[in-house]
Structure 1
């Protein structure tokens, strides 16, 4: 009997491990646009302090006031759902209908705008730090799309400094993150095993650096002074266009076409910048601002336009794709944002439906598996580029049940040193 029980328990454990699924983000369908986390009335990289409030917003271009529900899943460092009961990490309930939605007003493109606040009357509090997946469901409780977000505790500091690459061959092209992890509250247990990190640039998780161990310790301080393991390709400043007044051609918009049901904004052709010198100009590190100059409520009065991108990259010879990305589409590597080569014109082209305002974007090179090739990027890599870097510190005690995020560090490469 005991042997049968042990065998059954072992089988169940193996089954659970085998069925534990990494929670990758589900891309939104065509009708879902402008998906974003908002905090303090600004689009935000989804890293929030535990206990703070934020909103999750999106538009449904069908504009039929469809019912959408939300589910919140707590995950470990590797984005596998934890075994922690929901009532331990969530006070209240999820699987509730999003009740705050409004139809567009005075726009050619109809849409319904949804705004989910966390906390709200049903979900009063998220109690634990760590990784989370927010799933948006339809009436049949099928996942329409999902997005990751992270909650951190402010009990560890991460002094962070951006330096030029340590190896001479890449000193002109890469940024190196030099940092430490310190805490006056926690005495770290076995930091080589229990401390994990996530490093990312401009809120783009496609180029995230993970699984970096402390190089050495000084007392309770963990020191990371690697030469190559914590390096990012510096990239170039983001490109942008501005169509706050959607009828006017300005700021990199060559002309506006009024002949179709909604506006068409045709951008000037961008030239590949990899083989040019670095030129400094202001960007907002991939972010975007929804804005209609002639409106009072931008969330529902800003219109959509077909934005026509074109890129001249005659020396591009890689057997890979070129994508248009930024925070406006979560740096998506989907076919909807894949550029197509026009042999007659000798340029890459793509039309994308984007909500009006001020939009940063960049051209990303990646293969069909979604592996980004920043070394051979269209616009080059320059150490002078201004980027925003974020480090999250995960900690799981020897007897811990989940990966806490105990601290967050940020730095800007404007303050780069040699």
Structure 2
């Protein structure tokens, strides 16, 4: 029995070595809100940076303790397993440093501290390699508070992105297909079927991204991707939205307000749009923007409010309904789960959010399979305006990490047959 036990331990250790753990983002605790992780001044989006561009991470801690937080940056392969690079190869300077820039809120009902991390800074002077990265925020006790993925690319190839209607007749009215043309600009790509990988992202949502498509054929110095179904996304629908830049008065999509310990904003009740005709409604594709009137510094003067969501819908027996958007990086979590009010025959949910303009929709999760369905309540339409981003990864023969050698983007406003 001792020998059998030892063999099992050795097999488990070997499997850990052979199959490295895939990195997953860690969701923040309840007291950390409004994580905006971006480049320059763009808020709330998945940061995809050109090598050498600055990076900005901001968040609020809803405590009165002026907590100390530290950050750690790690480099990953295309499949989000740890790369073979040591830290000094991809980072100039030091990480695991305290975030020095923070301010306390001013003239708000909700007390919070606002943290602002910018790279480069005197401690972390530069990120030296392209590829996948993750930044993790730790407290003073070494416990990870949250983590976020980001990508850095080298502008070495031209990536053409074109959005088409689905080529599958069964889903032509509901899906959008993405074609890619990668011009290598004379760069010699050895055995591209094995060394070149792709990632296509819809609306900055990594949860629904399509990865690792192989080039179907080459034409001179171009790699061509024109798939029928493999590169097709559900079209979804335009996002719902609200704005509460003035917490003392009803604003866009806000029916009425109430002041308790904090301001409470009650949104108009939404309905299912699945079986209704598509209607164009400009949105920001699930993103959010912090706004507040009569405030000079939104970072510390915008207040937090309790937002009351409601959805008129019959109760779904085998599915749970969630409030869904980039306000929490499209994460399915207990705070966004809605409860069913059988008397009013509607789903209800409450979120604590900073003042601003927010996009959101309602998504369902199958209780048995755990499958996410963004269109179960909103519907799927080929006409929907969506943003698409494409990243091209390259790992040369004998190389130790996956580079990102190209980036392209397009909008389905220009969709064609």
Compute the TM-score of the two structures, normalised by the length of structure 1. 0.94
Partner of 2:176: 175
Q: Distance in 2 between matches of 1:52 and 1:173?
A: 37
How many angstroms does 1:332 deviate by?
1.3
Aligned match of 1:265 = 265
Residues 188, 220 of structure 1: 8 Å contact kept: no
Match of 2:394 in 1: 395
The residue correspondences of 1:35-50 to structure 2 (distance < 5 A) are 35-43=35-43, 44-50=45-51
Q: Which residue of 2 aligns with 1:113?
A: 114
Q: Which residue of 2 aligns with 1:335?
A: 334
User: Structure 1 residue 370: deviation in Å?
Assistant: 5.3
> Equivalent residue for 2:372?
372
CA contact (8 A) 1:333 1:370 kept: no
Given that residues 206 and 372 in structure 1 are in contact (C-alpha distance below 8 angstroms), is that contact kept between their aligned partners in structure 2?
no
Q: 1:45 offset after TM fit, Å?
A: 2.0
Q: Distance in 1 between matches of 2:39 and 2:401?
A: 26
SS at match of 1:113: strand
Report the alpha carbon displacement of residue 178 of structure 1 after superposing the two structures with TM: 1.2
**1: CA distance between counterparts of 2:354 and 2:394?**
39
Which residues in structure 2 correspond to 1:351-362 (within 5 Å)?
351-362=350-361
Q: Distance in 2 between matches of 1:210 and 1:103?
A: 41
Moved more, 105-114 or 10-19: 10-19
Provide the secondary structure at the position in 2 that maps to 1:336.
helix
2:274 corresponds to: 274
SS at match of 1:180: strand
Q: What's the offset of the Cα at 1:306?
A: 0.4
Q: Distance in 2 between matches of 1:108 and 1:101?
A: 19
For structure 1, the 5+ residue unaligned runs are 1-9
Q: Secondary structure of 2:178's match? A: strand
Q: Which deviations, in whole Å up to 9, do the C-alpha atoms of 1:249-298 show, x marking residues without a partner?
A: 1211110011x110000001000101111111111111111111110000
User: Which ranges in structure 2 are unaligned for 5 or more consecutive residues?
Assistant: 1-9
Q: Are the aligned partners of 1:51 and 1:126 in contact in 2 as well (CA < 8 Å)?
A: yes
Residues 39, 53 of structure 2: 8 Å contact kept: no
Separation (CA, whole Å) in 1 of partners of 2:116 and 2:336: 25
Shift of 1:19: 6.7
Structure 2 residue 327 is the aligned partner of structure 1 residue 325 = no
Question: Distance in 2 between the 1:17 and 1:153 partners?
Answer: 31
> Are the aligned partners of 2:272 and 2:313 in contact in 1 as well (CA < 8 Å)?
yes
- Deviant stretches of 4+, over 3 Å: 10-16, 367-371
Aligned-partner Cα distance in 2 for 1:25–1:364:
20
The equivalent residue for 1:73 is: 74
| Deviation sequence 1:98-134 (CA, Å, 0-9, x none) | 0010111010001100111011110000000001110
Do the aligned partners of 1:305 and 1:355 also contact (CA within 8 Å) in 2?
yes
**1:237 corresponds to 2:245:** no
Q: Give the drift of 1:11.
A: 9.6
Task: Kindly indicate whether the alpha-carbon contact (under 8 Å) linking 1:241 and 1:359 is maintained by their aligned counterparts in 2.
Answer: yes
Whole-angstrom distance in 2 between the partners of 1:205 and 1:63: 33
Structure 1 370/109 Cα, relative in aligned 2: closer, same or farther at 3 Å? farther
- 2:331 corresponds to 1:299: no
**How far is the alpha carbon of 1:140 from its aligned partner?**
1.7
| Shift of residue 39, structure 1, vs aligned partner | 2.5
Shift, 1:18, TM fit: 4.4
**Cα distance in 1 for residues equivalent to 2:67 and 2:264:** 27
How far apart are 1:363 and its partner, in Å?
1.1
Rounded Cα–Cα distance in structure 1 between residues aligned with 2:370 and 2:138: 25
Match of 1:386 in 2: 385
Within 2, Cα distance between the matches of 1:278 and 1:198?
28
Q: Which residue of 2 aligns with 1:23?
A: 23
Matching of residue 215 in structure 1 with residue 216 in structure 2: yes
